[in-house]
Amino acid sequence: MKIGLDTAPVTLRGNYFQHLAGVLENYAPEHEYVVDAKRYGHLDLYHGFRSSLPLSVHLGRIPAVMTVPNLDFLRYPHLYTFSERLIALRLYRRALRQARRVITVSTPAREELSQRLRIDPAKIEVMMPLAARVPQEPPLQAELEHTRRKYGLPEMFILMIGTVEPHHNHEAVLDALALLDSRVGVVVCGRRTVYSDFLLSYARERHLATRVDFIYELTPADLPALFRMARVFAYLPDACSEASIVPVVEALRAELPMVLSDTRLNREAAGNAAAYVNPEAPGEVVAAIAAAIACMDGGEHYTLRSVKRTRVSGRSAWGQAGVVAYTEPF
Domains 2-126 and 141-320 equal at CATH topology level: yes
Would you call 309 helix, strand, or coil by DSSP? coil
pLDDT of residue 156: 93
Burial label, 235 (beta-carbon count in 10 A; 0-12, 13-18, 19+)? buried
Q: How far apart are CA 29 and CA 27, in angstroms?
A: 6
Q: What is the per-residue pLDDT across 140-178, written as a single tens digit (0 to 9) for each?
A: 889 999 999 999 999 999 999 988 888 899 999 999 999
Give the separation between CA 166 and CA 185, rounded to whole angstroms. 20
Phi-psi region of 187 (alpha: psi -120 to 50; beta: other; left: phi over 0): beta
Per-residue pLDDT band for 259 (boundaries 50, 70, 90) equals very high
SS3 content of the chain, % helix, strand, coil (to 5): 45, 15, 40
Q: Any bridge partners for residue 34, and if so which?
A: 4
Is pLDDT at 60 greater than 90 in this prediction? no
pTM for the model stands at 0.65
141-320 has CATH 3.90.950.10 classification? no
Asked whether the predicted pLDDT for residue 11 surpasses 80, the reply is: no
Residue 328 pLDDT more than 60? no
Distance (Å, whole) CA 165 – CA 41:
44
What pLDDT band is residue 213 in, cutting at 50, 70 and 90?
Answer: very high
Residues 6+ apart with CB under 8 A from 114: 120, 121, 124
Q: What is the reported pLDDT for 327? A: 35
What span, in angstroms and rounded, lies between the C-alpha atoms of 301 and 314? 11
pLDDT of residue 312 exceeding 60: no
Inter-residue contact 59 to 98 (CB < 8 Å): no
- 215 DSSP β-pair partners: 189
Q: Are strands 64-67 and 156-161 parallel, antiparallel or unpaired?
A: unpaired
How much of the chain exceeds pLDDT 90, in percent? 33
Architecture of domain 2-126: 3-Layer(aba) Sandwich (3.40)
pLDDT digits (tens, 9 = 90+) for 40-58: 778 899 998 888 888 888 8
215 has pLDDT over 70: yes
Ranges of each domain in the chain? 2-126, 141-320
Question: Checking DSSP bridges between strand 45-48 and strand 64-67, what pairing results, if any?
Answer: parallel
Q: Is residue 36 pLDDT above 60, yes or no?
A: yes
Q: pLDDT tens-digit profile of 93-139?
A: 889 988 999 998 777 788 888 988 888 999 999 886 655 454 556 67
For residues 259 and 289, is the Cβ–Cβ distance under 8 A?
yes
